[in-house]
Structure formats: structure tokens, C-alpha cells
């Protein structure tokens, strides 16, 4: 008798089942939509003409030492803006010849591209 009562408790109608599937489907759709909308947009920028060779050599050393990436002059034509934003200027200042003017120039270049990419989004 107890087993029969237990079976009755867990029985649902086809309408309730369809409603449950619809609820799950709606939830899944909302979750996927939010994930797609919040995915960061990759912005590629050309900084080759914005910086001089000396700044490049410092960046090349920084990328090699801290990011374990080999940076070539041609790579500056297609740099990810988010990668540039992650530069730690405290570490970059440790390189010989990277002074306040070079730092300011690089920061201004990155900020200019950041402002322009925010407008286009």
C-alpha cells in the first residue's frame, strides 16, 4: 500500500511535464543568451606607427619575460587591445630607457584606442 502511494506522489500529467520542459528550455535560452552577450569583443589595433623602436624593444623584452610571448615588429600591426591593457607599467619601468615620456606615450596610445573601441561597440 505504501509503495502505491509513493508512486502516486511522483506521477505528473503530460501538461505538467510539458510546462517543466518549457521552463527548462526558457532558462537554458536565457543562460546562453547572457553568455553570448557578455563575451568580450576582441579589438585588434595597429600600434606600429604609434610607437618608436626603443619602446618596441622594451615591449619585446617585457612580453618575453612576463607573458612568455615572442613579439616581432610586424606583430604591432595586429595587437589585441585587451593584451595591451594588461601591461604592468611598474614592471615595464624596470627596463633600461623606459622612462616617463615613453610610458606616457604608450599609455596615451592605448587609451586612444580604448576610447575609439568603446564608441564602436
Average pLDDT, the chain: 84
Give the Cα separation of 37 and 49 in Å (integer).
33
pTM of structure:
0.62
Give 95 or 118, the one with higher predicted confidence. 95
- Which pLDDT does position 120 carry in this prediction? 40
Residue 2 has, within 13 A of its CA and on its CB side, a CA count of 0
Q: In this predicted model, what pLDDT tens digit does every residue of 50-80 receive, in sequence order?
A: 999 999 999 999 999 999 999 999 999 999 9
Amino acid at each position: 500500500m505504501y509503495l502505491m502511494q509513493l508512486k502516486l506522489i511522483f506521477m505528473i500529467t503530460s501538461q505538467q511535464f510539458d510546462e517543466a520542459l518549457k521552463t527548462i528550455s526558457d532558462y537554458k535560452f536565457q543562460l546562453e543568451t547572457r553568455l553570448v552577450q557578455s563575451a568580450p569583443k576582441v579589438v585588434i589595433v595597429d600600434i606600429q606607427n604609434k610607437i618608436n623602436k626603443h619602446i618596441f624593444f622594451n615591449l619585446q623584452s617585457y612580453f618575453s619575460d612576463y607573458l612568455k610571448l615572442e613579439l616581432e615588429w610586424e606583430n604591432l600591426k595586429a595587437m589585441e587591445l585587451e593584451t595591451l591593457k594588461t601591461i604592468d607599467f611598474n614592471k615595464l619601468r624596470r627596463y633600461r630607457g623606459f622612462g616617463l615620456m615613453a610610458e606616457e606615450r604608450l599609455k596615451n596610445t592605448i587609451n586612444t584606442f580604448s576610447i575609439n573601441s568603446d564608441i564602436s561597440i
